[in-house]
Amino acid sequence: MPERTCIGCRSRAPADTLVRIAWSPTGGRLVTGPGHSGRGAWLCPDAECLDLAMQRDAVGRALRVGVPAAAAAELVAGWASTVAAAGPLPGG
Ligand SMILES: [Zn+2]
């Protein structure tokens, strides 16, 4: 499994332990999980990492899009369920 860098805490981890975030141009929103094409940003399933990424606008920079505030807010609002859907981490 390739490693990816979390855009929040900048630590490296196997891709299957991170949440993939992509931009949906058609929906005009950020989407999470596998199966979305285009550039991806990776985050630990951790509210702290999402906070760090939001403070630095790291999602928009990683995806090379200008993320509308509403789309960012939607990602934040749905993060808890996104993390729950990602399932328990290996060994955790
Ligand atoms: Zn992280």
**Range of 62's domain?**
3-86
Domain count, the chain: 1
Cα 84 to ligand 1 centre (Å): 16
Looking at residue 17, which CATH number applies to its domain? 3.30.1230.10
pLDDT of residue 90: 59
Would you call 71 exposed, middle or buried from its count of C-beta atoms within 10 A (0-12, 13-18, 19+)? buried
For the entire predicted model, the pTM comes to 0.90
Residue 91 lies in a domain: no
pLDDT of residue 1: 80
Cα 73 to ligand 1 centre (Å): 19
Residue 13 lies in a domain: yes
Cα 92 to ligand 1 centre (Å): 15
Q: What H or E segment, with its residue span, contains residue 85?
A: helix 69-86
Residue 92 lies in a domain: no
> DSSP character for 34?
S
Q: How far apart (Å, rounded) are the C-alpha atoms in residues 92 and 83?
A: 13
92 residues of the chain, pLDDT tens digit each: 899 999 999 999 999 999 999 999 999 999 998 888 889 999 999 999 999 999 999 999 999 999 999 999 999 999 999 999 877 665 55
Ranges of beta strands (E only) in 9-83 are: 12-14, 19-24, 29-32, 40-43
Cα 1 to ligand 1 centre (Å): 17
